[in-house]
Amino acid sequence: MAVSLRCFLSSGKKAVSALRGRGFHRSAPAAVQVTVRDALNQAMDEELERDERVFLLGEEVAQYDGAYKVSRGLWKKYGDKRIIDTPISEMGFAGIAVGAAMAGLRPICEFMTFNFSMQAIDQVINSAAKTYYMSAGLQPVPIVFRGPNGASAGVAAQHSQCFAAWYAHCPGLKVVSPWNSEDAKGLLKAAIRDNNPVVFLENELMYGVPFEMSEECQSKDFTIPIGKAKVERQGNHVTLVSHSRFVGHCLDAAVVLAKEGIECEVINMRTIRPMDVEAIEASVMKTNHLVTVEGGWPQFGVGAEICARIMEGPAFNYLDAPVTRVTGVDIPMPYAKILEDNSLPQIKDIIFSVKKTLNI
């Protein structure tokens, strides 16, 4: 009996030691689904907590939790001094924000929509963008102007404009246009920490869209450098360059085209100014074809600037066909849904332009 017990115990020890020595496969932590709205909220929350100079002001950002609930919970957490409801006077509160930035604070100025930023464009351009240069580098203006940009749904011409090209035209501003939750969080945190005025162009239709966010992206130290594009999909036949909501359209078109043997490389610009021309050039040198996609108007737009930069640079000699632009239609946005749909780039338009560029 004693001998058999010793044998049993001995075999048990060997089994345990074998298990300890075995290298178990450890999968990476599962990514979490986070909406763009919540990613923006996290970014502001973390930066408000990190730096007491940061504060948020705008229409309905405090007690109402924001018109789109992007600032949900921040007023209850940080109070009236740091989450400030303003009157409906964009020129007034944008001017207050710029003055606060000149005095050493780091304001986040929310426009309920960037269409209303036209009421404050003198503060954005003449006061925020030019002061650092005009003071010979003595007076920085660390401010973020943020809010929804571009066409929403059913709000007609006065509320459906893309301001990417408007603000990117002005030296002294940085202009950021995120697509997914990772972009939204990482770029907004970088914008708040930047010592220059940053125009941060969100999209109303993307607020409720969930995206996977890795453990790294959920870190309080996570930022995305301003001025760097991201290749969202590798390909070797044609380059698709886009920003904001239409990056998703490009990826959807790429899936359809892949079934026909056409591999699209999709570039998410992330930043409009400074533009990551090197990333676009590198892709064009590989694919030899370029299609730009944006929701704004065609004349003097983001796609037009990309065309010019490619023509003036080393990638021009690698093109096997002219660059094609897919843009919003050159009209004020109609109210009727069927006309609205036909005024903005659709997936079918991207597919058509890719095939046209490839002469298929």
Among all residues, which ones are annotated catalytic?
A: 90, 159
Please tell me the distance from the alpha carbon of residue 48 to that of residue 42, in angstroms, as a whole number. Answer: 10
> Could you identify the residue written with the tokens 């246009």?
177
Q: How far is CA 149 from CA 132, 162, 166, 202, in A?
A: 26, 6, 12, 6
Please tell me the distance from the alpha carbon of residue 164 to that of residue 279, in angstroms, as a whole number. Answer: 19
Strand 174-176: give its sheet, edge to edge: 83-85, 54-58, 106-110, 144-148, 198-202, 174-176, 271-273
Indicate the SS3 state at residue 93.
Answer: helix
Q: How far is CA 307 from CA 45, 74, 260, 357, in A?
A: 39, 42, 27, 14
Indicate the SS3 state at residue 356.
Answer: helix
Please tell me the distance from the alpha carbon of residue 167 to that of residue 173, in angstroms, as a whole number. Answer: 7
- φ, ψ dihedrals at 289, nearest 5°: -145, 145
- Residues with Cβ < 8 Å from 112, sequence gap 6 or more? 58, 59, 60, 67, 147, 148
- Beta bridge pairs of residue 230: 268
Task: Give the number of other CB atoms < 10 A from CB of residue 259.
Answer: 7
Q: Which two tokens stand for residue 264?
A: 């699209």
Q: Give the chain's end-to-end CA distance (angstroms, integer).
A: 83
> Could you identify the residue written with the tokens 């009727």?
336
> Could you identify the residue written with the tokens 């689904």?
33
Closest-CA residue to 114 (of 64, 68, 83): 68
Cβ contact 219:186 at 8 Å: no
**Eight-class DSSP state of 151:** -
